[in-house]
Structure 1
Amino acid sequence: MNRPAVLAVTLPGATELRLEAEAEVRRRGWTVVNAPAAADLLLVCGVPAGEDAEWVDGIDRSMPEPALRIVAGERGRIAAALDVARRDLMDRAATRREADVADEPGAREHGDRKGHGDGHGRGTHHDSSPPEASDDQSHDHHRMDHGHSDHAVGDEERGHHQPADRGAHTDWLDHEGHGGHMDHMDHMGQHMHAMGEVAGLPMAQRGDDRDELRLDQLHVPIGPALSDWPTGLILRLTLQGDVVQDVEVDHLPVPPGHRPPFWDEPWLRAAQGEEVTRGSAARRRCAAHLDSAGRLLAVVSWDDVAARCRRLRDEVLSGVSREGIGGDLRRTVRRIGRSRPLRWSIAGLGELSADRARAAGVTGPALAADGDAFDRLLMWLSEIERGLEGLDDARPLTPDDWAGPRGRLDGPQPPSRALLDVLPELLTGAEFACARIIVASLDPDLDELALAPVSGAAHA
């Protein structure tokens, strides 16, 4: 328990907490896993309430004893929360070892040793907030929530993958020996919403497939808390064999906040008349694209380069100078863009022409890419390199600059709304194993759905 295995989930509106958590967990060298069964610690970025609390509780119940859940609701307190969580997990592990020794034949009678749990050895949630704050949020356990927050975690170091093939091939993503099987749909069931089920499995129904055959249809919900998955997104897929026949897009409620969506913040603040430098906007754009690229690379199991993208993302956000980061960033971008195995792995998936994108209201990189998942990745990489030159630009950002990382913020709808709207078209007819790649190549930011009208824009 000195280096706990962490399962991190993020709630809508908690992007900044997620980034802080990922950086802190990486600094500690803790392992990040993507399944409850492999986790010692569940780290929730954002404070669960209502529907959020239900599925977080479901994940918690799937974790082995003596697991612990902590909740991070404020910036700057994650490191302290993780320290407390590690100490508590070590205490629980020691208590269980003592109990196991006491239960051995011939051992001295120690009485009823229940440790800190719920009477069954189950890991629990600590709560150092006032009693009146914890009573309404216990969910059958105590919660560790130091003043509404305290803790968080990330997902760079992945474990416990289950490979999924694209066709009959195995995809190795790096000529230098770094690679792995494509890992698109691993452990989806742990975060599925409830549907009609038998023995925990969705019930199949009959339906016509694309070859006019009557085959079983399986209704499979995906999300909202998969690793490397847009926060809060839920897809309800109808499958026949391994082919997606129908798609319904849903999401967790996106709470309105007093702060704009994290990735769009510089442009929205400038539109309100605040003084924002062009360098701040360039850093936010570069970091957003590095975050998206890291997510896509993690989905195809190029984990070492995905982790490098996230490290560079954190350095860009921390204010490292262009000279300090430029060489490493350019090398990483060029390595990704020149990878032939990577191109082969994702080329042809999620084809979205510029005409179709424009008709759907898509703007930004997805429109400019005018192509498939690999083209969209290349567009992110191009914008990262182009933005590198402006990281230290102290000139003010003009109030009429509305080009955020995912598209224009002055259109009739938020950029990510259009990205969600094109998902059914892009996923229908695709192989099930490729669905996560297509989603990751668009990487919609559901926090944008809470955008309020901003003075100076036609719509926001």
Structure 2
Amino acid sequence: MVLRRLAARRPHVLTIAPAPVSPDDLPLRLAVEVELARRRWPSATSPADTDVLLVLGTPGPRLAQVVRAVWATVPAPRVAVGVTTPGAVRSVLDDAAARLAGRGGDTTSDCAVQRQHGRTADTGVGDRADTGVADAQMADLAFYDRDGLALDAVHVALGPVLPHWPAGLVVHATLAGDLVTDARAEVLDVPATVGPGSRGRSPLGPDRTRLDILTRVLGLLGADHLAARARDLRDHDPEPGELTTFGRRLARHRPLRWATRDIALVGGPVEERTVEQRVLALARALGGSLAPPVRPTPEKATQAMIGLELGAARLALAAMDPDTTLGAGPVAAYAPPQGEVTHHHHH
């Protein structure tokens, strides 16, 4: 009873969104973020932290597998809901809160989950390795850390359900300790190539695109007040001078610069050479009527993660903000060479 009341009062919401290939996908994500901020409902950090599983749009077959796998790990009391239009966001969230308050345990039947998330096949969740739901393989390949100790190579799929992570993106990475030694991009349910007219488009406009990127970077850094301010400026019409003032505040923010200073962006996916330079460029351009920032393809952005520690790699990816509408093509799951012993680890 107590858990049910607490969950209904301020439920933790885990959102799952497809890559924004439809004109309605991006406005829907923004509408959800605005409404969650208005209600002060916190974002869930993992399935175990989730009260409401909120699915945006209409997932394709691969993302639908992710939804099923995630739902299987969400503890009760729990609710799964879907929303396809910005105008329905409030009513959907009201319904989720009411269902949480009404009864404990599962408040969405298996059949309802199948209907909401496009499921038409079996009820198992054995596809985790293919969906990118944190399924890792540890191989007997020796890497050497800075102190000369040999480390096992861990092959892991990162995404697509992570906080401040590009929608629909899965990064197939090899880790030696916490160092990314190899990385390949996959965008779920998006073809390898799209029409040439879509490259470089910025549906949000220059300043809102910059603020959207800054919201993710600041959120990953734990700068919640700055992230909330960036999101508020993105979602509303700022007064004259507000964007410039906020940009100057970020540029002078020493902890922000210190936290991003030594994170290199190797391979030229964007104009800036470090995450610090990228953040400064985004901040200083606010309110300046400049062209939208360069957003690399998922392949190039993922390659720039190689050589970085995992936390820094996530910051670099958020700062680059790869355009997942461009697709990344199919990526085969990691398969160790014959005779190599592997161990499976689920996180």
Aligning the two structures, in what range does the TM-score lie when normalised by the shorter sequence?
0.7 to 0.9
For the 8 Å contact 1:406–1:416, the answer to whether it is kept is no
- Does residue 416 (structure 1) correspond to residue 296 (structure 2)? The answer is yes
Q: Measure how far apart 1:127 and its partner are.
A: 8.6
Aligned to 2:10: 3
Aligned to 1:123: 107
Q: Deviations over 1:53-85 (max 9, x none)?
A: 111111111111120111112231111111111
For the 8 Å contact 2:12–2:52, the answer to whether it is kept is yes
For the 8 Å contact 1:202–1:220, the answer to whether it is kept is yes
Tell me, in whole angstroms, the C-alpha distance in 2 between the residues paired with 1:297 and 1:444.
17
For the 8 Å contact 1:16–1:262, the answer to whether it is kept is no
Which ranges in structure 2 are unaligned for 5 or more consecutive residues? 1-7, 124-128, 329-347
Amino acid at match of 1:5: H
Amino acid at match of 2:85: E
Q: Measure how far apart 1:263 and its partner are.
A: 8.8
Please show how residues 69-148 of structure 1 align to structure 2 within 5 Å.
Answer: 69-93=80-104, 121-124=105-108, 137=119
Please show how residues 237-252 of structure 1 align to structure 2 within 5 Å.
Answer: 237-252=173-188
Out of 338, 342, 360, the residue aligned to residue 252 of structure 2 is: 338
Out of 196, 202, 222, the residue aligned to residue 158 of structure 2 is: 222
Amino acid at match of 1:423: T
SS of the counterpart of 2:286?
helix
Aligned to 2:206: 285
Tell me, in whole angstroms, the C-alpha distance in 1 between the residues paired with 2:314 and 2:219.
11
Aligned to 1:308: 229
SS of the counterpart of 2:233?
helix
Tell me, in whole angstroms, the C-alpha distance in 1 between the residues paired with 2:205 and 2:92.
27
SS of the counterpart of 2:140?
strand
Amino acid at match of 1:386: G
Over 3 Å counting, the alpha-carbon distance change for 1:329 and 1:27 in structure 2 is: same
Q: Deviations over 1:110-163 (max 9, x none)?
A: xxxxxxxxxxx42315999xx9x779647789xxxxxxxxxxxxxxxxxxxxxx
For the 8 Å contact 2:262–2:274, the answer to whether it is kept is yes
SS of the counterpart of 2:174?
strand
For the 8 Å contact 1:36–1:62, the answer to whether it is kept is yes
- Does residue 381 (structure 1) correspond to residue 283 (structure 2)? The answer is yes
- Does residue 206 (structure 1) correspond to residue 137 (structure 2)? The answer is no
Amino acid at match of 1:264: R
For the 8 Å contact 2:241–2:287, the answer to whether it is kept is no
Over 3 Å counting, the alpha-carbon distance change for 1:308 and 1:138 in structure 2 is: farther
Tell me, in whole angstroms, the C-alpha distance in 2 between the residues paired with 1:245 and 1:32.
30
Over 3 Å counting, the alpha-carbon distance change for 1:29 and 1:438 in structure 2 is: same
Aligned to 2:343: none
Tell me, in whole angstroms, the C-alpha distance in 1 between the residues paired with 2:9 and 2:138.
42
Over 3 Å counting, the alpha-carbon distance change for 1:62 and 1:253 in structure 2 is: same
- Does residue 428 (structure 1) correspond to residue 306 (structure 2)? The answer is yes
For the 8 Å contact 2:213–2:318, the answer to whether it is kept is yes
Q: Measure how far apart 1:265 and its partner are.
A: 5.6
- Does residue 12 (structure 1) correspond to residue 23 (structure 2)? The answer is no
Which ranges in structure 1 are unaligned for 5 or more consecutive residues? 94-120, 142-188, 196-200, 267-282, 391-402, 408-414, 451-460
Give the total of aligned pairs: 308
Tell me, in whole angstroms, the C-alpha distance in 1 between the residues paired with 2:159 and 2:133.
8
SS of the counterpart of 1:385?
coil
Identity across the alignment (%): 30
Normalization by structure 2: what TM-score?
A: 0.78
Aligned to 2:334: none
Amino acid at match of 1:55: V
SS of the counterpart of 2:154?
strand
Amino acid at match of 1:381: A
SS of the counterpart of 2:166?
coil
Q: Measure how far apart 1:448 and its partner are.
A: 3.8
Tell me, in whole angstroms, the C-alpha distance in 2 between the residues paired with 1:19 and 1:127.
28
Q: Measure how far apart 1:337 and its partner are.
A: 1.0
For the 8 Å contact 1:416–1:449, the answer to whether it is kept is no
Q: Measure how far apart 1:249 and its partner are.
A: 1.9
- Does residue 326 (structure 1) correspond to residue 326 (structure 2)? The answer is no
Tell me, in whole angstroms, the C-alpha distance in 1 between the residues paired with 2:162 and 2:275.
20
